[in-house]
Copies of this chain bind each other. A is one copy, B any other.
Amino acid sequence: MTATDHRPAGFENNDQKPLGYGRMLRKEDPRFIRGRGRYVDDVQLPGMLHLAILRSPVAHARIVSIDVSAAQAHPKVKAVVTGADLAEQGLAWMPTLSNDVQAVLATDKVRFQGQEVAFVVAEDRYSARDALELIDVEYDLLDPVIDARTALDPGAPVIRDDLEGKTDNHCFDWETGDEAATEAVFASADVVVSQDIVYPRVHPAPMETCGSVADYDRVEGRLTLWSTTQAPHAHRTLYALVAGLPEHKIRVISPDIGGGFGGKVPIYPGYVCSIVASIVTGKPVKWVEDRAENLTSTGFARDYIMRGEIAATSEGRILAIRTNVLADHGAFNGVAAPTKYPAGFFGVFTGSYDIEAAYCKMTAVFTNKAPGGVAYACSFRITEAVYLVERIVDCLAYELEMDPVELRMKNFIQPDQFPYTTKTGWVYDSGDYEPTMREALRLAGYDELRAEQAERRARGELMGIGVAFFTEAVGAGPRKDMDILGLGMADGCELRVHPTGKAVVRLSVQSQGQGHETTFAQIVAEEIGIPPDDIEVVHGDTDQTPFGLGTYGSRSTPVSGAAAAMVARKVRDKARIIASGMLEVSVADLDWTKGSFHVKGDPSKSVTIQEIAFRAHGAGDLPEGIEGGLEAQICYNPSNLTYPHGAYICVVDIDPGTAHVKVRRFIAVDDCGTRINPMIIEGQVHGGLTDGVGMALMEMIAFDEDGNCLGGSLMDYLIPTALEVPDWETGFTVTPSPHHPIGAKGVGESATVGSPPAIVNAVVDALKPYGIRHADMPLTPSRVWDAMRGVPTPPI
């Protein structure tokens, strides 16, 4: 398989239009570029009202009283609703996707700064916000729990006293692996390295904040909800299960979405408030977060306090890995602190290495922070696991005084070991790590870089070279422990070819900017021979698409992409039968090329897929027993996840005078199996690498000791711009997934996962002259400055 063109024989080209895989321009871009995208906030309905949410100004307090009379008297206010009002309907609390409940509007206590306390519905957004200030809430302040390390202290205030019998702030414990076997290996190993590592709380900070427009038709009893969700079908089913709305009367539409990154998987109280508001007022109601609300109340991720331990021989053969994690889940256990445990973490915390034993223990606690646990481009905590293992491997290299590349190469799982079962029972489907590593070294010019580093270091310059290698588990498919809804992980897909040979493919997954309209058209084009421009991709509307779990965990291509290819093959199989009737030969006598069937040995006798479509719709007879139409549906449940991998190399320079870290170069070699649209893959990688620069060097949601969130604006919570990132250098290898019909693996999160350790490894490498083995993210100038001077990192 060549690196640039994976089209099967016969699909290399087409006379008029490109078919199948390749660097096709994105079909969705014309509307985005021209400002014609349609986001939730673009929805305008006649008579629409506007909703604003009153949020708690404090982290932990008992609600003594709420006086809404002044707000209700505001001339443009249509309704003011408190938790007490919802409690009357049994709607004050809603389930999270993680075996917990969360207050829609606080009734007894507020548990984090920014928690929803009441909402106002008014004729316009401005009046709604004005009226919030007229609501008088009396709070009785309680001590907050902010540092997860103190959450389980005896005498710590019990945050979740709403949970029956709860006497502490314990959220859950989970473990995986063989503790005793791992201890035995550690006890006899030549070398043991242990390192405390914090992955701080970060926010995906999507361009578009969360929002919804609820339109409840009282006559039809029908709710239409435009919402920024990544999982419209899952949300619909949950609204039905929780609120008792009949599922067939709920339509959830996710229109264009300005970035999700996992932060738009959960059901936030705001969505529920807009639904309640529309039911109460009988009018459409819009709720759209402002930036401060988004940054302080929705979508947090990470917040892991970890200890990583690695045991090895003195020659650098890694024997065992052991980790202990204290997870800060905030006041409620949000999504993707999944039902059972942080599955992805447990799946890949042993990295890409063939070891003898592994063990991981994880404890989660409640604190007085906004709910965390959002799977921010991490496929169920893989980001944290990869960061941990790639950091401790580098710590081991530091102790062994080995080159980090050499250490990794020595320990890679070998090609003949795939499918490879990890020590925690996960099965890596395919991989060939050494060529990927070597491609990164080649692109980087690794040896030259090391030579340059030695030279610069000799001159007192701080140049660092960081290496990271990752294996991800994506496409949350068959694993029940990744089943956030308890409704399996299958995805539907439908393909319909119209009479004139144009087609529509309907996806259960949906795009928040990933380019589904292009990628899925290409997947189908490749199989069915209809040009991608002639294929309409429909997604993000529960009324128009089959059931499925949504877009997260890089699962669109691994799961729905497989479904799309397979449904197209079903249609092609039917087309072949119709073609055999049209050409009056047996099915076996037909060859398929470039969207046509022709008689074997006589290419002049052929019918195009378009001609077959017209015939299928009644323009002539069909073979006996063949139904009309040219379409198929599938519900695809993959047999395994897919495991993309990648080798990343980062080069940084640190200004010794300011401790500013500059990412000079970044080389990313990704292997996501078959590449459908290399341009889109590169776009995904570029975005993820930028995420990584943010997390490694700039981003952290911090709190003061009273629980005030210190990151409520993009002036405080810094995300990278074009100025902070280098020109990305990308490369690739191709190791197809053996169980995916086109061998594709999913690449949406790879760079977010793989880049932070590469950057941190580079920074630590640059600081080697200072005797530093580790420093915690974000490596801001002040933190690097402190590290260079041995000042410890503050706890939160």
Contact of A44 among B46, B248, B627 (CB under 8 A): B46
Copies in the complex: 2
Q: Are B30 and A220 neighbours in the complex by a CB distance under 8 Å?
A: yes
A31 smallest CB distance to B (angstroms): 5
Q: Is A502 positioned at the interface, with any CB of B under 8 Å from its CB?
A: yes
Q: Is A504 positioned at the interface, with any CB of B under 8 Å from its CB?
A: yes
Q: A490-B629, A633-B631 are in contact. Are A500 and B241 (CB under 8 A)?
A: yes
Stretch at the interface among A131-139, A158-166, A530-538, A598-606: A530-538
Residue of B nearest to A486 (CB): B619
Q: Is A547 positioned at the interface, with any CB of B under 8 Å from its CB?
A: yes
Contact of A546 among B34, B487, B546, B629 (CB under 8 A): B629
- Of residues 231 through 262 on chain A, the ones whose CB sits less than 8 Å from some CB of chain B are 236-237, 240-241, 246-249
Q: Is A739 positioned at the interface, with any CB of B under 8 Å from its CB?
A: no
**Hey, what's the 0/1 contact readout for A623-665 against B, CB within 8 Å counting as 1?**
0000111010111110000000000000000000000000000
**Hey, what's the 0/1 contact readout for A459-494 against B, CB within 8 Å counting as 1?**
000000000000000000000000101111110100
Residue of B nearest to A237 (CB): B499
Complex Cα–Cα for A628 and B508 (A):
13
Residue of B nearest to A33 (CB): B219
Q: Are B534 and A246 neighbours in the complex by a CB distance under 8 Å?
A: yes
A715 smallest CB distance to B (angstroms): 34
Complex Cα–Cα for A488 and B543 (A):
28
Q: Is A683 positioned at the interface, with any CB of B under 8 Å from its CB?
A: no
Q: Are B618 and A502 neighbours in the complex by a CB distance under 8 Å?
A: no
Complex Cα–Cα for A504 and B247 (A):
10
Q: Are A617 and B488 neighbours in the complex by a CB distance under 8 Å?
A: yes
In the complex, chain B residues whose CB is within 8 Å of the CB of A633: 631, 633
Q: Is A498 positioned at the interface, with any CB of B under 8 Å from its CB?
A: yes
**Hey, what's the 0/1 contact readout for A483-519 against B, CB within 8 Å counting as 1?**
1011111101000101110111000000000000000
Q: A46-B44, A502-B247 are in contact. Are A617 and B547 (CB under 8 A)?
A: yes
Q: Is A36 positioned at the interface, with any CB of B under 8 Å from its CB?
A: yes
Contact of A500 among B240, B500, B546, B631 (CB under 8 A): B240
Q: Are B492 and A247 neighbours in the complex by a CB distance under 8 Å?
A: no
Q: Are A536 and B248 neighbours in the complex by a CB distance under 8 Å?
A: yes
Q: Are A487 and B617 neighbours in the complex by a CB distance under 8 Å?
A: yes
Q: Are A499 and B547 neighbours in the complex by a CB distance under 8 Å?
A: yes
Q: Is A544 positioned at the interface, with any CB of B under 8 Å from its CB?
A: yes
Q: Are B628 and A498 neighbours in the complex by a CB distance under 8 Å?
A: no
In the complex, chain B residues whose CB is within 8 Å of the CB of A499: 237, 240, 247, 487, 547
In the complex, chain B residues whose CB is within 8 Å of the CB of A485: 618
Residue of B nearest to A492 (CB): B629
In the complex, chain B residues whose CB is within 8 Å of the CB of A536: 248-249
Complex Cα–Cα for A248 and B534 (A):
7
Contact of A543 among B36, B544, B635 (CB under 8 A): B544
Q: Are A618 and B488 neighbours in the complex by a CB distance under 8 Å?
A: yes
**Hey, what's the 0/1 contact readout for A44-71 against B, CB within 8 Å counting as 1?**
1010000000000000000000000000
Q: Are B618 and A628 neighbours in the complex by a CB distance under 8 Å?
A: no
A312 smallest CB distance to B (angstroms): 41
Q: Are B247 and A629 neighbours in the complex by a CB distance under 8 Å?
A: no
Residue of B nearest to A46 (CB): B44
Q: A220-B30, A543-B544 are in contact. Are A498 and B237 (CB under 8 A)?
A: yes
Q: Are B535 and A248 neighbours in the complex by a CB distance under 8 Å?
A: yes
Q: A502-B248, A546-B496 are in contact. Are A489 and B44 (CB under 8 A)?
A: no
Q: Are A547 and B498 neighbours in the complex by a CB distance under 8 Å?
A: yes
Complex Cα–Cα for A487 and B502 (A):
16
Contact of A504 among B248, B538, B634, B637 (CB under 8 A): B248
Complex Cα–Cα for A488 and B627 (A):
12
Contact of A637 among B36, B496, B628 (CB under 8 A): B628
Q: Are B503 and A618 neighbours in the complex by a CB distance under 8 Å?
A: no
Complex Cα–Cα for A241 and B492 (A):
31
Complex Cα–Cα for A248 and B532 (A):
11
In the complex, chain B residues whose CB is within 8 Å of the CB of A36: 217, 219-220
In the complex, chain B residues whose CB is within 8 Å of the CB of A486: 618-619
Complex Cα–Cα for A619 and B634 (A):
18
Complex Cα–Cα for A36 and B34 (A):
36
In the complex, chain B residues whose CB is within 8 Å of the CB of A30: 219-220
Complex Cα–Cα for A500 and B234 (A):
12
A287 smallest CB distance to B (angstroms): 21
- Of residues 591 through 616 on chain A, the ones whose CB sits less than 8 Å from some CB of chain B are 614
Contact of A34 among B219, B496, B504, B636 (CB under 8 A): B219
Complex Cα–Cα for A481 and B157 (A):
82
- Of residues 331 through 388 on chain A, the ones whose CB sits less than 8 Å from some CB of chain B are none
Q: Are B483 and A618 neighbours in the complex by a CB distance under 8 Å?
A: yes
Complex Cα–Cα for A265 and B739 (A):
49
**Hey, what's the 0/1 contact readout for A529-566 against B, CB within 8 Å counting as 1?**
00000111010000110110000000000000000000
**Hey, what's the 0/1 contact readout for A207-230 against B, CB within 8 Å counting as 1?**
000000000010110000000000
A546 smallest CB distance to B (angstroms): 7
Max chain B C-beta neighbours (<10 A), residue from A246, A490, A628, A631: A628
In the complex, chain B residues whose CB is within 8 Å of the CB of A627: 490, 634-637
Q: Are A628 and B619 neighbours in the complex by a CB distance under 8 Å?
A: no
Residue of B nearest to A483 (CB): B618
A712 smallest CB distance to B (angstroms): 34
Q: A241-B500, A547-B498 are in contact. Are A628 and B617 (CB under 8 A)?
A: no
A165 smallest CB distance to B (angstroms): 28
Residue of B nearest to A222 (CB): B536
Complex Cα–Cα for A543 and B543 (A):
10
A247 smallest CB distance to B (angstroms): 4
Complex Cα–Cα for A217 and B30 (A):
12
Contact of A618 among B248, B489, B543 (CB under 8 A): B489
Complex Cα–Cα for A417 and B180 (A):
86
Q: Are B248 and A503 neighbours in the complex by a CB distance under 8 Å?
A: yes
Complex Cα–Cα for A44 and B535 (A):
29
Complex Cα–Cα for A487 and B629 (A):
10
Complex Cα–Cα for A617 and B618 (A):
34
In the complex, chain B residues whose CB is within 8 Å of the CB of A538: 543
In the complex, chain B residues whose CB is within 8 Å of the CB of A614: 487
Complex Cα–Cα for A500 and B240 (A):
8
In the complex, chain B residues whose CB is within 8 Å of the CB of A534: 246, 248
In the complex, chain B residues whose CB is within 8 Å of the CB of A34: 219
Given contacts A247-B499, A492-B629, A492-B631, 10 further A-B contacts (CB under 8 A): A36-B219, A44-B46, A240-B498, A247-B500, A485-B618, A487-B618, A627-B634, A627-B635, A627-B637, A628-B635
Closest 8 CB pairs of A and B: A488-B618, A248-B502, A490-B628, A629-B635, A487-B618, A628-B635, A248-B536, A627-B635
Sample of 25 A–B contacts (CB below 8 Å): A30-B220, A34-B219, A36-B217, A36-B219, A36-B220, A240-B498, A240-B502, A247-B499, A247-B500, A248-B502, A248-B503, A248-B504, A248-B535, A248-B536, A249-B536, A487-B617, A487-B618, A490-B629, A496-B547, A504-B543, A544-B544, A546-B629, A627-B636, A627-B637, A631-B633
Please list the residues of chain A having a beta carbon within 8 angstroms of any beta carbon in chain B. 30-31, 34, 36, 44, 46, 217, 219-220, 236-237, 240-241, 246-249, 483, 485-490, 492, 496, 498-500, 502-504, 534-536, 538, 543-544, 546-547, 614, 617-619, 627-629, 631, 633-637
